Amino acid sequence: MAVHRSGFRPLLLNEVVKYACDTLEANGAAPRGEEERIPEPGEPIPLVRGDVRDLKMGYLEGAVDLLAGGPPCQPFSLGGIAKGDEDQRNMFPQMFRAIREIKPKAFICENVRGLLRPSFKPYFDYITRELMFPFEERDPEATWLQHDAILKSKEERGDTVSAERYQVFVYPVNAADYGVPQIRNRVIIIGFRGDLDIDPEVLKEATKPTHSEEALIRSMTSGEYWERHNNVKRRAKVPQHVIQRVMSGLQADLPFDHESASLKPWRTLRDALAGDQETEPLPDVPWEQLDRKQYANMPKDHIGWPSARIYPGHTPNVLDRPAKTVKAGVHGVPGGESVMLTDSLAEEVGKFPVYRHRYMTVRETARVMTFPDNWELCGPRGEQMRQLGNAVPVLLGEAFAKAVATVLDDAEKRS
């Protein structure tokens, strides 16, 4: 969806999980079948269900501007100084193969920030070199360390034909900095084919963050944030005791920063539920409707769920911050990521109010992942939440896909 909304026309989708495939078909994709052909404009997007290791992609060579993927990168361990153990579920080798077969002008990968942890760095550096030189195919009998030595040598020589190497750029990002109402730290890797002569400065400008925490705090301190939410139709005004609680925890005397002053405020969970000019507010879920039922007066998948708990180490989302990272679990995953604290007072204990909490609905979680309300999710609740947790927030993907489009357009104009 992110690349489609950025002006690219999808030519092929691949997915291995059944319910995720059902979701793609429910939203307009169609089974490709055995025929390897490029769809005409206006045709449904072809979907191949199944293991990417069985997918042949050579028929797309020369037709693809952007290859986009989130290859799973499962645990990897360094078992001693000279030996690394690769997990067989690691699908980065399939990303390398896709680049070799398709030869796209550009590629974009999204993955967990854990790829950048120090213990993983040697292998992550190998991944980036593989993406630089995808046509240097690894010998099936070689270890990654042996193959990495070959790639290092190619990098040092600098004599690889430009059309057979890629310029690679790595971005550690927080999705909240790009308008996503969620703290989601990820790494995005972008590459451009070497013969395109792209301008890195254009890419740098196009990938700058658009939102900031400082701007959110200033909007709360000025009162603009609270005034805006008190004027949202179909949603209750923010109680004064909530405003006081939130404001008491803010760093109100922020130093003035010219760069952050031009950015928009981080979007909060309350912002996501309130909607915007294109999206209606989501109604509050009545406490008597936490019973797993779809009510006629509620949007689809806005279904209350019972038995939410909070305790130390399992704390809920709060409305006036971006949500926690949505994870690929049903509910009750470590950290309380699918539980939210409401504005509703349960009781007062001395001077400290105690607020009621509940599980977030699937539709609320989809809002946090910036999927539109008309995006249909297939499968039972647990599978729907798993799909959302495994996805790239649409606005984050769109920001970087648009950046790729901007760079490619610039390179074409200058060529």
Catalytic residue IDs: 73
Q: What's the distance, CA 151 to chain centroid?
A: 30
User: Using CA atoms, how far apart are residues 136 and 130, in angstroms rounded to an integer?
Assistant: 8
Give the length of the chain.
Answer: 415
Closest CA to 323 of 364, 279, 373: 364
User: Using CA atoms, how far apart are residues 176 and 212, in angstroms rounded to an integer?
Assistant: 8
Which residue type occupies 204? Answer: K
Closest CA to 402 of 91, 1, 40, 3: 3
Residue for token pair 């009621």: 356
User: Using CA atoms, how far apart are residues 83 and 233, in angstroms rounded to an integer?
Assistant: 61
Which residue type occupies 99? Answer: I
Cβ proximity of 250 and 220 under 8 Å = yes
DSSP 294: -
User: Using CA atoms, how far apart are residues 68 and 107, in angstroms rounded to an integer?
Assistant: 6
DSSP 139: P
Residue for token pair 């990417």: 52
Residues with Cβ within 8 Å of 232's Cβ and at least 6 positions away in sequence, in order, are 274, 275, 281
Cβ proximity of 52 and 70 under 8 Å = no
Element (H, E) at 106: strand 106-112
Cβ proximity of 340 and 358 under 8 Å = yes
Closest CA to 263 of 208, 340, 194: 208
Cβ proximity of 83 and 126 under 8 Å = no
Cβ proximity of 193 and 106 under 8 Å = yes
Strands 13-15 vs 46-49: parallel, antiparallel or unpaired? parallel
Residues with Cβ within 8 Å of 120's Cβ and at least 6 positions away in sequence, in order, are 76, 114
